Amino acid sequence: MPITVAMIEEKEFKTKMRGYDPVEVDEFLDEICDEMVAMQEEIASLNGRLSQASRNAAAYTPVPAPAAVPVPAPASAAVPAPVQVQQPEAESKKAEETSESAQKLLSRAQKMYDDIVAEANAKAEEILKNADDRAHTSIAELKEEKEALESEIDMLKAAAKDYKARFLALIKDQQHVLKAENELFE
């Protein structure tokens, strides 16, 4: 499927932590779109020039060379060879060269366009791959951090539970001491 300017302009990427700056990516994609539009305009212009040159070449009909006209010979001289008028081939060659030149120019423009699109696609794939790699690395780091925090939470919960149990045991011991003291004074 060929990529169009509209496709590039409408493309939205998901944002992820530590990803590329969306404004910078949008600006780069806008530059690519501008270059594609310029190339398409150049291709259209060259196609127009090529079709105009083709029409000019088709409209050009060579005038046939006039037939040899016999020249009346003087009575005493020998008959000279007939004179032939040749049509200049310069105009025909010029039209052919212009058409050929336009075709080559169009071919080069198309190749440049294809190269730029391929380069832009490769760059976009590289950007996406780098973003994916960074996202995977970030996710792995965050998972490790999460596991460390969960482990710390579990240790704190166990310490709190142990503290609570010791505190309750201390309270019970104090209640027994108070009960024993009350019994002494009764």
d(CA 185, CA 63): 145
pLDDT average, residue stretch 171-176: 89
CB-based burial of residue 13 (10 Å sphere; 0-12 exposed, 13-18 middle, 19+ buried)? Answer: middle
> Is the distance from CB of 36 to CB of 116 less than 8 angstroms?
yes
Q: Which residues contact 36 (CB under 8 A, 6 or more apart)?
A: 5, 8, 113, 116, 117
Q: Is pLDDT larger for residue 54 or for residue 79?
A: 54
Task: Render pLDDT for 31-78 as a digit per residue (tens, 0 to 9).
Answer: 888 988 999 899 999 988 888 888 887 776 555 555 554 555 554 444
pLDDT for 84 beyond 60: no
Radius of gyration of the chain, Cα coordinates, nearest whole angstrom = 45
Give the containing element (helix H, strand E) for 139: helix 90-185
> For 112, what's the count of Cα atoms within 13 Å in the CB-facing half-sphere?
14
Q: Is the Cβ–Cβ distance between 142 and 26 less than 8 Å? A: no
Q: Where are the domains of the chain?
A: 5-60+92-148
Q: Which pLDDT does position 146 carry in this prediction?
A: 92
pTM higher than the cut 0.85: no
Q: Which of 124-133, 154-163, 175-184 has the highest mean pLDDT?
A: 154-163
Averaged pLDDT, 165-171: 92
